[in-house]
Structure 1
Amino acid sequence: MRKLQMKMSMSIDGFVGGPNGEKDWLFKTGDAQSKAWVVEQAWDAGLIIMGRKSFEVMAPYWPTSTDPSAAPMNEIPKGVFTQKGFKGIDLGNDQSPAATSWTNAKVFDGDLTEEIKKLKAGEGKPITAIGGAGFMRSLIATGLVDEFRLVIHPVVLGAGEPIFNGITIPLYLKLVDVKVFPGGTTVHTYGS
């Protein structure tokens, strides 16, 4: 059985995006060690899943990126979850292996809970969920997340997009690990 890991960056006050979805603060607070950790953790995934909106933003960016995270983002198989349909992504004439990994992403448009249960029932490396607040809230609501990797950035946004709002029953987690990086970013890993 595969484990489902959620990796999410957030501000000290619990927002994953600013009031208008801004994410520029993510790039102002990292350091070499925290970026190396992100790459190392990405390679641990056997499948990267995200919602349609995040997929549409990421797919054109990663195939030509020189960011150290580009290799795992382009090489690890991807899954895109949608409730509103998805016609695929057009990356023009780019036929590189990196682009192909995005255009060949598996589309999941059924019931989220059932689709996640099927994925987890398979064998292989963990499934890593990344992306936006809406998808993460839906994923948390399934109760199927095995591990929460919360990357806490040293910034207070004051308002924005939370992922833990709307929880109807307490979600009790066990702290598994804490990593502290020189720039002030910390990673809190919780098991469910």
Structure 2
Amino acid sequence: MGKVILDMTVSINGCVAGANDEPGGLHDWFFIPSEVNQAVIEEQIKSTGALVMGRRTYDMGASQDGFAENPFQVDHFIVSHSEPDSRPKGDTSFTFVSTGVPDAVRLARAAAGERNVVVGGGASIAQQCLAADLVDEIRLAVRPVVLTGGIPLFGGGAGMIELERLAVVDTPEVTHFRFAVAR
């Protein structure tokens, strides 16, 4: 069975977005990757078997046709109280889970098989996964920008989480950190 990996891009001060959900250039490294970043992306795509995200992240991606040419052609599990009226462009498979983050992760694990489940969208969903001790590994892509007043990734009452550093890959655009959650 694969791992559950929290995978987010953050500013140097730990924000996943600006105060009004604006991306603040955080994801530029992914959409216009250098050779080193492309290798990181390819490994992530190859090892991912399912994705978990929140409804707000889904809505933002859908509104920008972000799923039309989705490189992650795996099942996406969206934590949401309701389903949208229509589905976005593209071939991505979406399952809407109204019973909470633990159920979304359980379903994603079943779908992922031997590959990893990636929690990839929304600080709230990430915080809930951490608080419920569902995360095996944290991958952070840290951009050298500061988003004052932004949405912080960490918080939500998970307490202290000890991490073991697995790897660091540094590029001018972003520094990739991989940590195992110590248990």
Question: For the superposition of Structure 1 and Structure 2, which TM-score range results when normalised by the shorter chain?
Answer: 0.7 to 0.9
Cα gap change, 1:159 to 1:87, in 2 (>3 Å): closer
Q: Compute the displacement of 1:154 (Å).
A: 0.9
Structure 1 runs not aligned, ≥5 long = none
Match of 2:78 among 74, 77, 80: 80
Deviation readout 1:105-127 (Å, 9 max, x if unpaired):
11211132244245436732111
1:147 partner amino acid: E
TM-score (norm 2): 0.83
Q: What's the counterpart of residue 47 of structure 1?
A: 50
What whole-Å deviation, never above 9, does each CA across 1:33-92 have from its counterpart, x for those lacking one? 324422431231011121111112223523444xxxx3x23x22211111x21235334x
More strand per residue? 2
Q: State the one-letter code of the partner of 1:125.
A: R
Q: 1:7 to 1:25 in 2, by over 3 A?
A: same
Which fold has the larger relative contact order, with Cα–Cα distance below 8 Å and residues 6 or more apart in sequence?
1
How many equivalent pairs are there? Answer: 176
Amino acid at match of 1:47: A
Q: Which runs of 5+ in 2 are unaligned?
A: none
Alignment of 1:1-192 (within 5 A): 1-28=1-28, 31-32=33-34, 33-59=36-62, 61-65=65-69, 70=70, 72-73=71-72, 75-82=73-80, 84-87=81-84, 89-91=86-88, 99-101=90-92, 104-117=93-106, 119-120=108-109, 123-181=113-171, 183-192=172-181
Residues 51 and 108 in structure 2, CA contact (< 8 A), matched pair in contact too: no
In structure 2, relative to structure 1, the CA distance for the partners of 1:57 and 1:180 (3 Å cut) is same
Cα 1:172–1:88 change in 2 (3 A) is farther
Maintained 8 Å contact 2:50/2:108: no
- 1:25/1:166 CA distance change after superposition, 3 Å: same
**TM-score under structure 1 normalisation?**
0.79
**Does the 8 A contact of 1:29 with 1:154 survive in 2?**
no
With over 3 angstroms needed to count, the CA separation of the structure-2 counterparts of 1:191 and 1:29, relative to structure 1, is same
Q: Name the CA shift for 1:161/1:43 in 2 (closer, same or farther; >3 Å).
A: same
Letter in 1 for 2:47: D
Secondary structure at the aligned position of 2:169 is classed as strand
Counterpart residue identity of residue 18, structure 2: G
